[in-house]
Amino acid sequence: MNGTVNILGIETSCDETAAAVVVDGRVVRSSVVASQVKLHEKYGGVVPEIASRAHLEKIYPVINEAIEQAQISADDIDAVAVACQPGLTVALIVGVTAAKTLSLFWEKPLIAIDHLHAHLQSAVMAEENVQLPAVALIVSGGHTSLYDYRSPLEPKLLGSTIDDAAGEAFDKVATILKLPYPGGPSIEKTAQKGRPDAIEFPRSLLGKGSLDFSFSGIKTAVLYYCRGQDMKGRDRVAAMTQKQIADIAASFQTAVVDVLVEKTRRAAELIGAKTVLLGGGVAANSCLRKSLQQMCDSARPARKLLIAPKQYCTDNAVMVASLAYHKFKAELFTDLMLEPCAHSR
């Protein structure tokens, strides 16, 4: 394996326990993801304590499987990388502790990775030559952020949500509409049978130059639409036809997508972006993909849109190991004092 760099990536920031081995930041030797969706389903959202316990049970089996599938031995691994921020601290700590232990035991360098920067990496990973500067939109269950991207190591935050994340809004609206968890895919599926212009839900743009997002207003608007302004009316959802529910889902999805695309367009214009990057769980949404593509095509000159492959939109460890390669080359290692952090530092 001369000249190649094998990195073991570990990801436990929310509700997936994941490990992967990636060669030279691009070649995926293995990717294992243990999803906890079933455990959190009945609560309609991720319960931190349940997530933490499940990570603890799965972390070593998942890491072992990733190493086995990669058909390499611990000796062949050049570094251990772990997502240490942002996320649920009780969840992150499981991955961070496992990574520190392996780094110490195997005597391999430890690399600390920002989970959101890793999401961003999943959009550029397969591309040989990304035209810079790029604007990156990361939309997940916990985050909605725009970055000025000029290098994998130093994306600069341009704006983020001041309340709910886009994925969180999808999840909460799905709960209001009594659709299965996780909400994003359910809303997308239901919306296919509805009219996107059926209901005019608010699009919060937060002032002319703002690159921040706010999705709590639209969530409340859906709630009022279903329950009445004073919330005293009976929950109408149970009595609604499938068509009515589909119209709400389609109108909500379009309103969220409109805001995401408009803010990305603003950011792209501001920095003169040649490329737009899209990553995070909500990047799996086809309505968002299509609208962003139209925005990029209609710009003069047109912008190139790079979207993370679907299997790497939601949380995974390939993106962690891939980004770690750049830190490895720059010798940006961390030590055993590494602590998880709920926010990006």
* Nearest-angstrom CA–CA distance, 56 and 210: 40
Q: With respect to ligand KG4, which residue has the nearer C-beta, 95 or 109? A: 95
Q: How far is the CB of 31 from ligand KG4 (least distance, A)?
A: 14
Residues in contact with ligand KG4 by the rule CB under 6 A: 14, 140-142, 167, 170-171, 182-185, 188, 280-282, 284-285, 314-315
Bond before 196 cis per omega within 30 degrees: no
Contact 220, 174 (CB under 8 A): no
Q: With respect to Zn ion, which residue has the nearer C-beta, 114 or 247? A: 114
Q: How far is the CB of 313 from Zn ion (least distance, A)?
A: 9
Of these partners, Zn ion, ligand KG4, none, which one is at the site of residue 188 (CB under 5 to 8 Å by kind)? ligand KG4
Q: How far is the CB of 140 from ligand KG4 (least distance, A)?
A: 3
Distance of CA 98 to the CA centre of its chain: 22
Residue 316 sits in the site that holds Zn ion (CB under 5 A) = no
The 114-143 contact track toward Zn ion, x by CB under 5 A, reads --------------------------x---
**The residue to which tokens 């997002």 are assigned:** 213
- Which two three-digit tokens encode residue 340? 């998880």
Residue nearest to Zn ion (CB): 140
Question: Phi and psi for 296 in degrees, rounded to 5?
Answer: -65, -40
Question: Phi and psi for 25 in degrees, rounded to 5?
Answer: 75, 0
Q: With respect to ligand KG4, which residue has the nearer C-beta, 271 or 305? A: 305
Q: How far is the CB of 315 from Zn ion (least distance, A)?
A: 4
Of these partners, Zn ion, ligand KG4, none, which one is at the site of residue 212 (CB under 5 to 8 Å by kind)? none
Contact 278, 310 (CB under 8 A): no
Of these partners, ligand KG4, Zn ion, none, which one is at the site of residue 159 (CB under 5 to 8 Å by kind)? none
- Which two three-digit tokens encode residue 71? 């058909």
Q: How far is the CB of 297 from Zn ion (least distance, A)?
A: 28
Region near Zn ion per CB under 5 A, out of 180-188, 189-197, 215-223, 311-319: 311-319
Q: How far is the CB of 336 from Zn ion (least distance, A)?
A: 25
Picking from 318, 231, 257, 234, the residue whose alpha carbon sits closest to that of residue 28 is: 318
3-state secondary structure 67-123: HHHHCCCHHHCCEEEEEEECCCHHHHHHHHHHHHHHHHHHCCCEEEEEHHHHHHHHH
Contact 90, 51 (CB under 8 A): yes
Q: How far is the CB of 51 from ligand KG4 (least distance, A)?
A: 11
Contact 172, 219 (CB under 8 A): yes
Of these partners, ligand KG4, Zn ion, none, which one is at the site of residue 167 (CB under 5 to 8 Å by kind)? ligand KG4
Q: With respect to Zn ion, which residue has the nearer C-beta, 34 or 72? A: 34
Q: With respect to ligand KG4, which residue has the nearer C-beta, 103 or 161? A: 161
Of these partners, Zn ion, ligand KG4, none, which one is at the site of residue 25 (CB under 5 to 8 Å by kind)? none
**The residue to which tokens 């070649």 are assigned:** 27
* Nearest-angstrom CA–CA distance, 217 and 174: 15
Residue 315 sits in the site that holds Zn ion (CB under 5 A) = yes
Footprint of Zn ion on this chain (CB under 5 A)?
140, 315
